[in-house]
């Protein structure tokens, strides 16, 4: 059974940052898929920045545990090594970014994307 949930989270400490997370998860999803997110810049007026992605993730996870693969100038797969479902939920509820973040299945449904080889 799967569910799709759109959530817009506005954090009180950064009123200018509005984070949109698109969820679609299945209970028995493999760990490497739980750890995988797609960052998308929908503004189309600039390329997605790896520096900004890492900066918004650093409060939650060390840079040495962040794996990434750019798909094009607005989309990037990001895998957070060592995260379980609970830690990923905590990150997604507290992250501050202007990018749209898709969980793996939501990204696959929206864009029909496959993971990079070796993930």
Ordered DSSP codes for 5-17: EEEEEE-TT-TT-
Tokens representing 7 are 């959530």
Measured distance CA(31)–CA(39) in Å, rounded: 19
Q: Determine phi and psi for 5, rounding to 5 degrees.
A: -135, 130
Measured distance CA(114)–CA(108) in Å, rounded: 7
CA 70 vs CA 29, 30, 51, 116: distances in Å: 23, 22, 12, 10
pLDDT tens digits, the chain, 119 residues: what are they?
Answer: 445 555 555 444 445 567 888 888 766 778 788 899 999 998 877 788 899 999 999 999 999 999 999 988 899 999 999 998 889 989 998 998 889 999 999 999 999 988 888 87
To the question of pTM greater than 0.75 for the whole model, the response is yes
The answer to whether the beta carbons of residues 47 and 35 sit under 8 Å apart is no
Sign (positive or negative) of CA dihedral 15, 17, 67, 58 = negative
């Amino acid at each position: 059974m799967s569910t799709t949930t759109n959530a817009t989270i506005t954090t009180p400490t950064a009123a200018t940052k509005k984070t949109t997370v698109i969820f679609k998860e299945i209970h028995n999803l493999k760990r490497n898929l739980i750890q995988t997110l797609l960052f998308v810049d929908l503004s189309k007026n600039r390329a997605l920045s790896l520096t900004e992605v890492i900066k918004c993730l650093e409060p939650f996870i060390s840079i040495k545990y962040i794996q990434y693969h750019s798909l094009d100038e607005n989309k990037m797969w990001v895998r957070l090594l060592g995260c379980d479902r609970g830690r990923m939920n905590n990150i997604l509820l507290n992250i501050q970014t202007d990018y749209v973040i898709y969980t793996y299945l939501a990204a696959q449904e929206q864009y029909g994307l496959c993971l990079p080889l070796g993930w």
